[in-house]
Structure 1
Amino acid sequence: MTHPHPLPLSLILFSITILTSLLPLTLGQQPVVNALVAPITKDSCTSLYTIALNSTKQYLIDLTGRFVWGPCPTNYGLVQCTAPICTEARYSDCLIINGYRPPGFCRCEKSMRHPITGACFSGNETVIRIYIASTDGRNPTSLVLADYVNICAPDSSLDGLPRGAVGIAGFGRTNSVSLPARLAWDVSVAWMGNLAPNPSFYNRFALCLPSTTNAPGVAFFGANPYYFLPSYRPDISNSLIYTSLLQSPNYSDVAYYLNVKGLAVNGMSVSFPSYELQFDSSGRGGVKLSTTIPYTTMRTSIYRPFIEAYKTATNGIPHKPSVKPFELCFDTRDLGSTRVGYGVPPIDIMLNDGKNWTIFGANSLKDVKANTACLAFVDGGENEISAITLGGFQMEDSFLLFDVANSTLGFIPTLRGLQTTCSNFNFTSTV
């Protein structure tokens, strides 16, 4: 097994300072909570993202995952196989365990596929208690108790994860077993014997992925407001663009899909058949959002016309030799600079409701070595399951609000246009 490397000392001290400066509340003391907040770290080796739960315990963020999973404590409680949180977790992309279940108590066993290595694991389901920070949208305010559903995976499940990670946190669209869904249920219903949910806290979460490994981004669970430094900036939620989300016909697929009708480069449509973007009856196709691949990946039939359109739009800019896994590279000395990155043609993901997710230079060109930046889109081959998978790099410094209950996405393609970034949430406690 590859043992995870420790987090950089600066980030460890940062996380400890955040959470130890807050006073934990006992279960009986906990107030009605409208929102929770946690830091997101970008790993320098893998360019993947982890969220801190229970202070410095880092979990890989998997936007397409159903469960939270990782090695469990020695003495952990078992979930009954007839419990609702076991029933909802019945789907899996690996072989599901259907062994003999004796009369009486039967434990909930699940199987899952590692999103990085592809290995399959099985394990018991349990519920683990954590501390997580509540927030008023400007700062962390107090530490509160919450639970999450965890599948107990073997130590080998940590292979391939970013340094410091102790498991994987599934953020997929579920009612009760993904991390956001469980926090929504736990916070709105379970605390203090509430008889009705807190209407401000339901299955809604926001991700703001950092573009740097030196300062964290932020995840919110629950209601707005969402403020970023400088302090005079208005609530980010006032600037969101809203669009509908699609769900795959394959009901074991809990990923989030954009409703896309086409692509454009520099305002000119990319020519490929629109049916390439649609789902077939088995769930192949669609435009998926993923935090476990670093760069946007396209099926070859879409990638080839896209790359040719980008070459045409940048015809006056000298090219440099390719740098794997990228095909099209430029000399940065020939590129201008703007507030939203290199001065290169914008890329539009054209949505069916007439709105665009526009990708500017900061999210389209990746610096790969001195004086060289490459178009950070990858050819996934003809057999790629999703037509397009939007990767982490294209979502950095974007603000994404997932309203699972209403199947909508509120988004700001880049906070740089508002003169801030995902690393500008103020994690300094106010208490």
Structure 2
Amino acid sequence: MVSKINSLSFFVSLLLLFSHSTAKTPLRPRAFLFPVTKDEATKQYVTVINQRTPLVPGYVSSSYKPVPCGSVTCKRSLSGACVESCFDPLSPGCNNNTCSHIPYNPFIRTSNGGELAQHIVSLQSTNGSNPGKFVSANGVVFDCAPTSLLEGLAKRVKGTIGLGNGYVGFPTQLAKAFCVPRKFAICFSSSTNSHRVMFFGDSPYVFLPGMDVSK
């Protein structure tokens, strides 16, 4: 989801779509597969994550939970601030006694105040060679930030995903939620007409020519 190599290890643009249904499986996944495309206008790399309950557009969700100030999650995220009272109507991004974070948009080099929250996500499992079932995890941590931070991102993109090794980094969260290794691999292409992938979890990572991971 980024257009520059030096920032590729930290950010990938995150396009949130909600077309897939959550399929639960009794087998623990060994890895996860994310389809990646390159946006022609911005040259940013874009992937898809299904989020919220139900998995539909909008912010009415029964699984959205603000991270409280002083909680273990807040402390481990290295947050140095707390929103004690929100003066606007309570909503995602505006809650009382909530852990505060300062998300950053690397494309416009701007940061703004955000609220740390937890949500359910639906991810596509893989055995390393073929796409598998979608499985869900609750309590995945993310920043709910002002829409002004979407400036400079590809059309319909709703945020960025951090690939660092910190406590709230995406690889760490998947490793904790699904007991998979905290590692990932990226197969990107300079072409805007071909699909590529990211793998999170255990190897081997195999992506055969013609394999469709876009659905």
Q: TM-score range by the shorter chain?
A: 0.7 to 0.9
Q: 1:73 aligns with which of 42, 59, 62?
A: 59
Query: How much does 1:162 deviate?
Result: 1.2
Q: Structure 1 154/74 Cα, relative in aligned 2: closer, same or farther at 3 Å?
A: farther
State the percentage of identical aligned residues.
Answer: 29
**Aligned 1:370-389 pairs, distance under 5 A:** none
Look up the equivalent residue of 1:187 and give its one-letter code: F
**Alignment partner, residue 110 of structure 2:** 119
The question of whether the paired residues in 2 share the 8 Å contact of 1:97 and 1:111 is answered with: no
The question of whether the paired residues in 2 share the 8 Å contact of 1:218 and 1:425 is answered with: no
TM-score by length of 1: 0.38
**Alignment partner, residue 81 of structure 2:** 97
The question of whether the paired residues in 2 share the 8 Å contact of 1:116 and 1:160 is answered with: yes
The question of whether the paired residues in 2 share the 8 Å contact of 1:229 and 1:425 is answered with: yes
Query: How much does 1:24 deviate?
Result: 3.6
**Alignment partner, residue 36 of structure 2:** 40
**Alignment partner, residue 177 of structure 2:** 186
Query: How much does 1:203 deviate?
Result: 0.9
The question of whether the paired residues in 1 share the 8 Å contact of 2:30 and 2:202 is answered with: yes
Q: Secondary structure at the match of 1:90?
A: coil
Query: How much does 1:117 deviate?
Result: 0.9
The CA distance in 2 between the partners of 1:42 and 1:49, in whole Å, is 4
Query: How much does 1:99 deviate?
Result: 6.3
Query: How much does 1:107 deviate?
Result: 1.6
The CA distance in 1 between the partners of 2:171 and 2:211, in whole Å, is 20
The CA distance in 2 between the partners of 1:229 and 1:207, in whole Å, is 14
The question of whether the paired residues in 1 share the 8 Å contact of 2:83 and 2:99 is answered with: no
How big is each residue's C-alpha offset from its partner over 1:351-395, in whole Å with a ceiling of 9 and x where there is no partner? Answer: xxxxxxxxxxxxxxxxxxxxxxxxxxxxxxxxxxxxxxxxxxxxx
The question of whether the paired residues in 2 share the 8 Å contact of 1:80 and 1:108 is answered with: yes
Alignment pair present for 1:225 and 2:204 = yes
How big is each residue's C-alpha offset from its partner over 1:187-228, in whole Å with a ceiling of 9 and x where there is no partner? Answer: 11xxxxxxxxxxxx1211111112211122101010112223
How big is each residue's C-alpha offset from its partner over 1:68-95, in whole Å with a ceiling of 9 and x where there is no partner? Answer: xxxx82563111222332112226xxxx
The CA distance in 1 between the partners of 2:66 and 2:29, in whole Å, is 28
The CA distance in 1 between the partners of 2:116 and 2:48, in whole Å, is 21
The CA distance in 2 between the partners of 1:425 and 1:207, in whole Å, is 16
The question of whether the paired residues in 2 share the 8 Å contact of 1:146 and 1:186 is answered with: yes
Alignment pair present for 1:30 and 2:16 = no
**Alignment partner, residue 136 of structure 2:** 145
Q: Secondary structure at the match of 1:180?
A: helix
**Aligned 1:229-268 pairs, distance under 5 A:** 229-230=208-209
**Alignment partner, residue 49 of structure 2:** 53
Q: 1:131 aligns with which of 110, 122, 128?
A: 122
Query: How much does 1:25 deviate?
Result: 2.7
Look up the equivalent residue of 2:129 and give its one-letter code: R
Alignment pair present for 1:87 and 2:78 = no
Q: Secondary structure at the match of 1:141?
A: strand
The question of whether the paired residues in 2 share the 8 Å contact of 1:41 and 1:217 is answered with: yes
How big is each residue's C-alpha offset from its partner over 1:314-334, in whole Å with a ceiling of 9 and x where there is no partner? Answer: xxxxxxxxxxxxxxxxxxxxx
CA RMSD of aligned residues (A): 2.8
Q: Secondary structure at the match of 2:121?
A: strand
Which runs of 5 or more structure 1 residues have no equivalent in the other structure? 1-14, 56-71, 189-200, 231-423
The question of whether the paired residues in 1 share the 8 Å contact of 2:103 and 2:145 is answered with: no
Look up the equivalent residue of 2:66 and give its one-letter code: L
Q: Secondary structure at the match of 1:184?
A: helix
More helix by share: 1
The CA distance in 2 between the partners of 1:90 and 1:229, in whole Å, is 40
Query: How much does 1:180 deviate?
Result: 1.5
The question of whether the paired residues in 2 share the 8 Å contact of 1:208 and 1:218 is answered with: yes
The number of residues matched between the two structures is: 180
Q: Secondary structure at the match of 2:213?
A: coil
Alignment pair present for 1:173 and 2:169 = no
**Alignment partner, residue 154 of structure 2:** 162
The CA distance in 2 between the partners of 1:155 and 1:136, in whole Å, is 36
Q: Structure 1 99/151 Cα, relative in aligned 2: closer, same or farther at 3 Å?
A: closer
Q: Which moved more, 1:77-86 or 1:176-185?
A: 77-86
Q: Secondary structure at the match of 1:81?
A: coil
The CA distance in 2 between the partners of 1:158 and 1:202, in whole Å, is 31
The CA distance in 2 between the partners of 1:74 and 1:124, in whole Å, is 17
**Alignment partner, residue 6 of structure 2:** none
**Aligned 1:260-299 pairs, distance under 5 A:** none
